[in-house]
Amino acid sequence: MDGLLPAVLAFVIAVPIGAGIGVLIYRGIVQSRIKQLEADARLQLEAVRSEQKDLVLRATDEALRLRNETEAQVRDARAALAKQEERLSRKEENLDRKLEGVERRERQVQNRERQIEQLAGEAEQLRQRQRSELERISALSQDDARAIILERVEGETRDEAARRIREIERSTHEDADRTARKIIGLAIQRCASDYVAEVTVTTVALPSEELKGRIIGREGRNIRAFEQITGVDIIVDDTPEAVTLSCHDPVRREVARIVLSRLLKDGRIHPTRIEEVVNKVQQEIDVIMREEGERVAYEANVQGLHPDLVKLLGRLKYRTSYGQNVLQHSLECALLAAHMAAELGANINVAKTAALLHDIGKAVDHEVQGPHALIGADIARRLGRSPAIVHAIAAHHQDEEPQSVEAFLVMAADAISGGRPGARRETLDLYIKRLEALETVATSFQGVQRAFAVQAGREVRVMVQPDAIDDLGSIHLARDVARKIEESLQYPGQIKVTVIRETRSVDYAR
């Protein structure tokens, strides 16, 4: 214990002394740090002051530079203004001189105008004296002389115009005919068809004469039932072993023919059996018409037709025109129109579709009133065909004025198909009436002496009176006759009009 107490006392005394020494050391460090910071602050302040001086100097230099540039620009602008003012003053002087010159020339022009007016008055007086002298010498007034001159000039102009028209028409016709013959020849070569004449009355052969009685039936009940169900008249006459079926509807007539043939083969002929066979045959005919329509559309490469159009197209299988099957005629027209459209660069699809459907109105023309061309156009319009196709159908007989190349191609294809040798046949009465109509149209013109229809009505030769129509007048007459034939008659193909003027000079030697 005695040794511990002095140690504690020593520790107690040493702690305050150490603390005081530590405080003195820390205070020294802090004061030295403060001095260091004050020195750094003075250095930074001096650097900032140096930078401010540099900035002030640079700003002063820039201001002086801008001032000098501005003063230079002002000097340049003043110099430019001075030059411009000088140029303007010179221009004003030039304008003043020019104005003086213009005024001087204007006075000269006015003087010349007065002189010209004076000379014009003198010339008019001289012209009046000359006109009076000419009228006195020629014994003609001014109006009479003008009429004579105008008449002479008009005659010369008319003759020259007729010659020019004849030359232009001849050249145009030669070029057009050559091109048309080439195109039509190529189309016809690519589309060759056989023709079989068809009739509109059907004759059904009978195995024996006794079957006529069975067809008529007891008190005529079989024939009445047959005619009522089929809508076809049966003509039982003295023709041996044959009966005739007559009906305006070719489909009904075909149904009746098949029904009667099957009844005769079966041997059972009574009203119930007739009705049963008619219903079955009608269904078969509907299938045949649809298949025929699809076949023709496929051969013509016409796609997207409405089913009703296909059925109406197949219905034409049983329709004839002048003995020509209308369905085959439509197919041939489609092929011809497609070939010609390809040669001319026209729309092939429109041409062949319109040509295929151009006679579609004949499938229902016995049910709807009006021209078959307009009927067919209305059907095509209602069943979704384009306006171009509808117009070509409506215009193929000129019920509408043709407005497109495709419409003219359909007309040409129809004429080519109908005008082929053997394609159509015509009765003698209709043939004679057509020739007489051609001759009547030609002789209706003044100055025509006689007219002859030759080459089966494809040419009309018109004989004119030589003292009534001159050579140039014959050109106009040929064109007028052709236009009237186009307006008043219907005919296949084209008709050539030839005007013949014969001049005879007769004298006698005595």
pLDDT band at 493 (very low <50, low <70, confident <90, very high): low
pLDDT band at 420 (very low <50, low <70, confident <90, very high): low
Helix/strand/coil (H/E/C) assignment for every residue in 207-276 = CCCCHHHHHHCHHHHHHHHHHHHHCCEEECCCCCCEEEEECCCHHHHHHHHHHHHHHHHHCCCCHHHHHH
Model pLDDT, residue 184: 63
pLDDT band at 49 (very low <50, low <70, confident <90, very high): confident
pLDDT tens for 328-383 read 888 888 888 888 888 888 888 999 899 999 888 888 867 777 788 888 899 989 98
3-class SS at 480? helix
Model pLDDT, residue 235: 82
* For the chain, counts of helices (H) and of strands (E): 14, 8
Does residue 103 sit within a domain? no
Which residues, other chains included, contact 332 with Cβ-Cβ below 8 Å and sequence gap of 6+?
191, 193, 413, 417
pLDDT band at 462 (very low <50, low <70, confident <90, very high): very high
Does residue 9 sit within a domain? no
Calculate what percentage of the chain has a pLDDT beyond 90.
Answer: 5
Looking at the fold, whether 324 and 459 belong to one and the same domain comes out as: no
Model pLDDT, residue 40: 83
Does residue 280 sit within a domain? yes
Looking at the fold, whether 302 and 401 belong to one and the same domain comes out as: yes
Task: Work out the average pLDDT over 393-421.
Answer: 84
Model pLDDT, residue 481: 92
pLDDT tens for 87-129 read 888 888 888 888 888 888 888 988 888 888 888 888 888 888 8
Does residue 221 sit within a domain? yes
E strands in 337-486: 448-454, 459-464
Q: Is the Cβ–Cβ distance between 419 and 492 less than 8 Å?
A: yes
Residue ranges making up the domain that contains 344 = 202-419
Model pLDDT, residue 186: 58
Model pLDDT, residue 342: 86
Which tokens in the block code for residue 12?
Answer: 């107690």
Torsion angle defined by CA atoms of residues 488, 491, 495 and 497, in that order, rounded to the nearest 10 degrees: -30
**Cβ-based neighbour number of residue 293 at 10 Å:** 23
Model pLDDT, residue 273: 86
Model pLDDT, residue 3: 61
Looking at the fold, whether 463 and 494 belong to one and the same domain comes out as: yes
Which residues, other chains included, contact 322 with Cβ-Cβ below 8 Å and sequence gap of 6+?
418, 424, 425, 426
Q: Which value, in Å, is the radius of gyration of the alpha carbons in the chain?
A: 56
Calculate what percentage of the chain has a pLDDT beyond 70.
Answer: 88
pLDDT band at 198 (very low <50, low <70, confident <90, very high): very low
Q: Look at the chain and report how many structural domains it folds into.
A: 3
Does residue 415 sit within a domain? yes
Which tokens in the block code for residue 81?
Answer: 């203004």
Is residue 59 scored above 80 in pLDDT?
yes
Which tokens in the block code for residue 410?
Answer: 């359909």
Looking at the fold, whether 353 and 225 belong to one and the same domain comes out as: yes
Which residues, other chains included, contact 230 with Cβ-Cβ below 8 Å and sequence gap of 6+?
252, 255, 256, 259, 278
Q: Is the Cβ–Cβ distance between 397 and 371 less than 8 Å?
A: yes
What is the maximal distance between C-alpha atoms in the chain? Answer: 209
Q: What is the pTM of this model?
A: 0.50
Looking at the fold, whether 295 and 390 belong to one and the same domain comes out as: yes
Looking at the fold, whether 215 and 162 belong to one and the same domain comes out as: no
pLDDT tens for 72-86 read 899 888 889 988 888
Is residue 431 scored above 50 in pLDDT?
yes
- Mean pLDDT score of the chain, rounded to an integer? 81
| Separation between Cα atoms, residue 229 and residue 233, nearest integer Å | 11
